[in-house]
Amino acid sequence: MTATIALIAHDSRKDDIVSFATTYAPVLARHRLIATGATGQRIQAATGLPIELKLAGPSGGDTQIAAEICDGDVIAVIFLVDPLYAQPHEPDIQALLRVCNVHNVPLATNLSTAEVIIHRLAKQQVAHLIYNPVAGQGTGEQDLELIRQLLQPHMSLHIHLTTAEIDPEELVNEAIAANADIVIASGGDGTVSAVAGALIGTGISLGVIPRGTANAFAAALGIPRLLPIRAACQVILAGNTLTIDAARCNGLPMILLAGVGYEAEAVDLASRELKNQWGAMAYLMAGWQMLGVQEPFEAEIEAEGETYHIQASAITVANAAPPTSVLAQGAGQVIYDDGLLDITIATSETKMQAVTTMVKMLGSALVGADAQQQNVLHGRAKDIKITTTPPQKVVVDGEVIGMTPIYLECIPNGLSVLAPIAGGLLS
């Protein structure tokens, strides 16, 4: 489902459409192109643009293009016609005209109208949506249709669906190669993190449409939890851009946080079935179960040229985090643009002490104050290495990635994001 431009020309107008495509190649290159056989071959030879060739006009190529218009993928048709001497075997403008009128698709039949369309497209932002269809509560098709309705009238929207075989990073690289203005990630925090990781250092803005279980990054951006898809699309269309830090953990992209010990075990315990049934409550239920069984561990932490040895039940290293990411709140807030990572170390001897600690840390986050608890330590560093005895599970941006040891590094000003002008951690 990619924003597509169709190119057709009668025989006497093929030189004109080749010249047109050569002149406006930079605009055409940002879209998927389809064309009837001979027309597409000539444009391809002259410009080098990738074009999906349909059948020749007399063999039904124009009918194939009409079918794509009906499917909703075509955003414009350039059909240069010969009004005086068109041959009987050449494509018929009337059938395409009817389909374009039915589906409200602009159709140019001469160079002047073609230039009007191409100039409009040149001013329109090109957005590539990386969409995880299995995220959320099983409403993938309806959610995608809503996103299309909200965004397509305002931008050229190219839609890429993630699969088990296709890594989101591959899809982002395609978008970068196509000179995208915006790349939008729609799914859970794992999908968002993968897309963001591929955008680090590119300067291309990241848009986020939350459809996962926790949606912590969307919360950190200040995207409202009520009607999140509509709210997120409004944020994207508003175009307010912020530059924030990014990070890597063992080479993997990290935009939120890494958890060692308790948090990783809780995330691992919250199965897909549990999340589908209970949503974000699944993490609370899993976390409650872990309170009684999580054993303290020995940790060696290397940061800023110093080495520290400490006993811990949970270690959290955060780049950005909303107040609800309780175990990241050792200082009451996580600073997202200081070029440093926040590390919070917590330990507890009893289940009650663990509950009390987390309640106090949540309160500290809500008021933005230091937790000031004896069993909670906090610091900031640009890079951090954590080794534990015994090895502990590690979760990064909601996905369990393996076991300790881990090495984390901050990437200052690494990511451009579309966020509300006010609200959330990024206000």
Which DSSP symbol is given to 30?
T
Whether pLDDT at 174 is above 50? yes
Average pLDDT of the residues in 179-206: 94
Instruction: Select the more confidently predicted residue: 347 or 212.
Output: 212
* Inter-residue contact 136 to 209 (CB < 8 Å): no
- Domain 257-408 falls in which CATH fold? Tumour Suppressor Smad4 (2.60.200)
Which strands sit side by side in the sheet containing 341-346, from one edge to the other? 376-381, 341-346, 314-318, 257-261, 393-396, 399-403
Q: Given this chain, do its domains 4-123 and 126-254 carry the same CATH topology?
A: yes
| pLDDT category of residue 426 using cuts at 50, 70 and 90 | very low
| pLDDT category of residue 125 using cuts at 50, 70 and 90 | very high
| pLDDT category of residue 287 using cuts at 50, 70 and 90 | very low
- Domain 126-254 falls in which CATH fold? Rossmann fold (3.40.50)
Among positive and negative, which fits the CA dihedral 135, 227, 280, 326? positive
Whether pLDDT at 149 is above 50? yes
| pLDDT category of residue 270 using cuts at 50, 70 and 90 | low
Residue 291 is predicted with a pLDDT of 55
Q: Which of 156-165, 211-220, 260-269, 318-327 has the lowest mean pLDDT?
A: 260-269
Backbone angles phi, psi at 22, to 5 degrees: -65, -45
Q: How many CA atoms does the CB half-sphere of 214 hold within 13 Å?
A: 23
Whether pLDDT at 282 is above 50? no
> How big, in percent rounded to 5, are the helix, strand and coil portions of the chain?
40, 30, 35
Catalytic residues: 62
Residue 169 is predicted with a pLDDT of 92
Residue 272 is predicted with a pLDDT of 47
| pLDDT category of residue 284 using cuts at 50, 70 and 90 | very low
Give residue-wise pLDDT tens across range 366-403.
Answer: 445 555 666 788 899 999 999 999 999 999 988 889 99
| pLDDT category of residue 95 using cuts at 50, 70 and 90 | confident
Is the pTM higher than 0.85? The answer reads no
Residue 176 is predicted with a pLDDT of 94
Whether pLDDT at 286 is above 50? no
- Domain 4-123 falls in which CATH fold? Rossmann fold (3.40.50)
Whether pLDDT at 146 is above 90? yes
Q: Calculate the average pLDDT of the chain.
A: 85
* Inter-residue contact 295 to 350 (CB < 8 Å): no
Burial of 25 by CB count in 10 Å (0-12 exposed, 13-18 middle, 19+ buried)? middle
Q: What are the boundaries of each domain within the chain? A: 4-123, 126-254, 257-408
Radius of gyration of the chain (CA): 26
Residue 268 is predicted with a pLDDT of 62
Whether pLDDT at 351 is above 50? no
CA distance 210 to 295: 33
Residue 167 is predicted with a pLDDT of 86
